[in-house]
Structure 1
Amino acid sequence: MSAKFLKHLIQSSALACMILAPFSVFAQSPFEKVAQVNGSIITQFELDQRILFLQLLGSPASSNSDVLDELIKDRLRQQITKKFDIFLSEEALQQGLTDFAARAELSSEEFIKQLKVDGVARQTFRDFVTVSLVWRDYIRARYGNSIDITDDQVDRAVQSVSSNTGIDVLVSEIIIPTSPDIAGEVLEVAEEIMSSNSTTEFSEYATRYSATASREDGGRLDWVPLTDLPPQLRPILLSLAPGEITNPLPIPDAIALFQLRDIRERSVPAIRYSSIDYAVYLIGGGRSSEALRRAQKVKASIDRCDDLYGVAQNEPQANLKRENLSQSKIPRDIALELSKLDKNEVSTALTRSNGSTLVFLMLCGRTPALSQSEDDKATREAVAAQLLNTRLSALSNTLLEELQADADIVIFN
């Protein structure tokens, strides 16, 4: 399965922390009842489909009972939103499907076709998105007006973010290639790595398992400004003490673990960038010796990003993509590699298409934020939205716990 376009989506799902165990699809009758929620039946087919869907997303996962519990919560979500006549229009659903697939740089139909190849029905995807969007609308309608995010709260949160601009971090990385076929084994390795008790032990694991060039130095990276790293990674690193390790983070075709080795403050704030210009040139063959030789040949023949147009001129247009995006819109794995590069430097650490395509990544340039006031305004708006979403998420979880406690739920053996 081409799981590469699916894995990084799981970070935005409420199921990101679930850990799926191996299962046998259709080991039972697909129409056999596995649970009943206030009279509404959940079938073996639905359970099998959800498990398969999550595995194709590249989710590190847990037991089937955890997946069933999430399906039960979905039924409760559906029942209460139906009770209050909250539905999703077809137009809103199509937009939701499009947005979900767009994170993988695919149209919704391309996304659905990829799922179908591996046995996931269109309706499974539609149901997954529908329940999420309708519940989001319900929670916002029920609680949104009762939550007051004050300027003082935003100021304190912004101050916390702003104080990070003068911070450098010293980290080590381990990037482990994965696919649906080996997800279980990779998860076991990741859990073993998380139990590391020293930077030396983590470096030994990096040398053994990591797929990036830093493995030659035990996964150790140089000091880097925190603001150069992907926005999603910054708060995670700041929550660590030196020596501590992140949970496994899903990225396309791999999972990543980071160990914080040290942190320091600088008197001069780091430069903030409004956008980053980079090029991605795709080379068939993954990390095969032939593909890597091709990458080295291309690297030796170019001096800047514009030269790649000549390299790819007789190839399919999709093989070369030039982007100029804000950091928050750059895929996490690409953003991480770009943070290690200077202008016109190249990385060949990443793959796509389940490891069958090598990514030749080149940094073309970084554009500093021109207007500090505009940048600060965007930061305040983003922080306010984050505070609101955090409150809504907590209220949503509390409501679901209450609904589940009051529901008539039967689990069939």
Structure 2
Amino acid sequence: MIAKFFKTGALALVLGLSPLTAATPVMAQSTFEAVITVNNAPITQFEIEQRARFLRLLRAPGDPNTLAREQLIEDRLKLQAAQQNGIELGEEQMASGMDRFASQANLSGAEMIKLLEREGVYEETFRAFIRAGASWAELTRARFGPRITVSEDDLDRARAATGKGGGVEVLMSEIIIPYTPQTQEQVEATARRISETASESSFASQARRYSATRTAGSGGRLPWTPLNELPGGLRGIILGLAPGDVTEPLPLQGAVALFQLRDIRETDVSDPEYAAIEYAAYYIDGGRSDQALARAARVEADTDTCDDLYGIAQGQPESVLQRGSKAPSEIPQDIAYELSKLDPGEVSYTLTRSNGQTLVLLMLCGRSQSIADESTDETTADSAEGEAAATALSETEMLSRQIGDQRLASYADGYLAQLKAEARIVEK
């Protein structure tokens, strides 16, 4: 989690960027006043400007100022949760975290600090970034690690999913139930009750009654879907199900999701791996009100491509439309799932933001595939057997770790969404 933005462009920083204006020595007092509070913990304009500068240097996708505010809010929640659970990083842990982050550019933590300071980013900004990420990683491992087990069946499904000879498709049903702060407790209780439903017919009945997705009318049933098109965290959870099983309620931002695995099959065609997914998000005031949903339907009717959304958003604040290309691992879980159901030019308006007050219209712009290296090395017959055994062992360890990491990431994402939903966040 800590390093995901680094991979998007920080090496350019090491190779030399155009120098940014250094931090102004004399700053107005208002710069240090709180502009956001998270459970009464302040976030200052200075912190936002510093984090935005840091993200620009890393060339993180999206608007740096918006992303800085979002990250700092989440960082406060992560640190508050860590402290409540008795997690405080020592100086050795901080130094180790900074060194690990910097090592991706062949630097030490100390060298990274000097490089950032030359570009106007203070050491404490870097330390705060590391502290939040490392504390959260330690907390989520302690909280959810004991729940995660990887069985032989899980490994067999993962081997099938990653086999070079073919791919894996899953047949699922979905239920996504939005909530507001006033209805959250009731919705979560409903989702827990549904999760205990084992039959396909009863799950379909509940989908028709409660789900906000377009599949509600068909009982939440989705078509055969390549496993690799699902978000990484959800992929690991689905691999752990047997046909007929229902997931536990999965918290999203402003909603709860449930999935039932109806069937799974191998295919002769390899599933593509995607390096990047480009999408656009158009924000509509009013949440899931009739007026907002009608507006979303009109936008859908008037647009065929992501470029068309610029005309729709013309004359409105820049913040109503966001468009970018991100690696699959960098896309929020709920958005990644909705995008997995879309073809380029198609839209979804299931999700909300701002405690249910803003409807999110998502449009998939396109997917960029990774190109696998198909070259092979020849080995001698004498060493083949030993190498095969070593490879089998390393692949088993790798798959087990991958499945565990995916499940841990899913738990962590859900936990953060829950903390955010329960928090008192005031933005000035």
TM-score by length of 2: 0.54
RMSD: 4.3
The aligned residue for residue 266 of structure 2 is 265
Q: 332-341 or 162-171: which moved more?
A: 162-171
Over 3 Å counting, the alpha-carbon distance change for 1:331 and 1:132 in structure 2 is same
| 3-state SS, counterpart of residue 263 of structure 2 | strand
Aligned twin of 1:207 = 208
Residue 309 of structure 1 corresponds to 310
Alpha-carbon distance between aligned partners in 1 of 2:174 and 2:238, rounded to the nearest angstrom: 12
CA contact (8 A) 1:278 1:365 kept: yes
Contact 1:87 1:134 in 2 (8 A): no
Gaps of 5+ in 2: 1-38, 40-72, 102-127, 143-154, 376-393, 409-428
Cα separation, 1, equivalents of 2:260 and 2:219: 11
- Pick one of 132, 135, 151 that aligns with 2:135: 132
Q: Is 2:372 the partner of 1:358? A: no
C-alpha contact (below 8 Å) 1:350/1:359 kept by paired residues: yes
The residue aligned with 1:163 is: 163
Give the conservation status (yes or no) of the 8 Å contact 1:88–1:130: no
Please point out which of 391, 397, 401 is paired with 1:387.
Answer: 401
Q: Counterpart of 2:217? A: 216
Aligned positions of 1:313-392 closer than 5 A: 313-372=314-373, 384=398, 387=401
Q: Deviations over 1:55-107 (max 9, x none)?
A: x979xxxxxxxx99x87851xx55xx76xx63647x96xx9xxxxxxxxxxxx
Match of 1:279 in 2: 280
Q: Percent identity?
A: 43
Return the letter of the residue paired with 1:387.
R
Shift in Å at residue 349 of structure 1? Answer: 1.3
2:259 aligns to what SS in structure 1? strand
Distance 1:72 1:346, change over 3 A: closer
Q: 1:261 to 1:224 in 2, by over 3 A?
A: same
Give the secondary structure class of the aligned counterpart of 2:272: coil
Distance 1:247 1:157, change over 3 A: closer
Q: Which amino acid aligns with 2:187?
A: V
The amino acid that maps onto 1:187 is E
The alpha carbon displacement at 1:345 in A equals 1.0
2:86 is the counterpart of 1:86 = no
Contact 1:167-1:264 within 8 A present in 2 as well: yes
Q: Classify 1:252/1:312 alpha carbon distance in 2 versus 1 (closer, same or farther; 3 Å).
A: same
User: Would you say the 8 A contact 2:161–2:227 is kept in 1?
Assistant: no
Structure 2 Cα separation of the partners of residues 156 and 214 of structure 1: 30
Q: Which residue of 1 aligns with 2:233?
A: 232
Q: Give the Cα separation in 2 of the matches to 1:385 and 1:132.
A: 26
SS of residue in 2 equivalent to 1:354? coil
Structure 2 CA distance, aligned partners of 1:235 and 1:316?
38
User: Would the alpha carbon gap of residues 290 and 189 (structure 1) be closer, same or farther in structure 2, given more than 3 Å must change?
Assistant: same
Structure 1 residues 133 and 163: alpha-carbon distance in aligned structure 2, compared to 1, 3 A threshold: same
Deviation sequence 1:171-192 (CA, Å, 0-9, x none): 0011111344433222211111
Alpha-carbon spacing, 1:293–1:261, altered in 2? closer, same or farther (3 Å): same
| In structure 2, C-alpha distance between the alignment counterparts of 1:135 and 1:190, rounded to whole Å | 29
- Flag the 1:255–1:158 CA change in 2: closer, same or farther, 3 A: closer
- CA shift, 1:257, in A, is 0.6
Amino acid at match of 2:135: S
Equivalent residue of 1:283, what SS?
strand
Which TM-score applies when normalising by structure 1? 0.56
Find the aligned partners of 1:321 and 1:173 in 2 and give their Cα distance: 27
Any conservation in 2 of the 1:276–1:326 contact (CA below 8 Å)? Answer: yes
Q: Say whether the 8 Å CA contact 1:278–1:361 is kept in structure 2.
A: yes
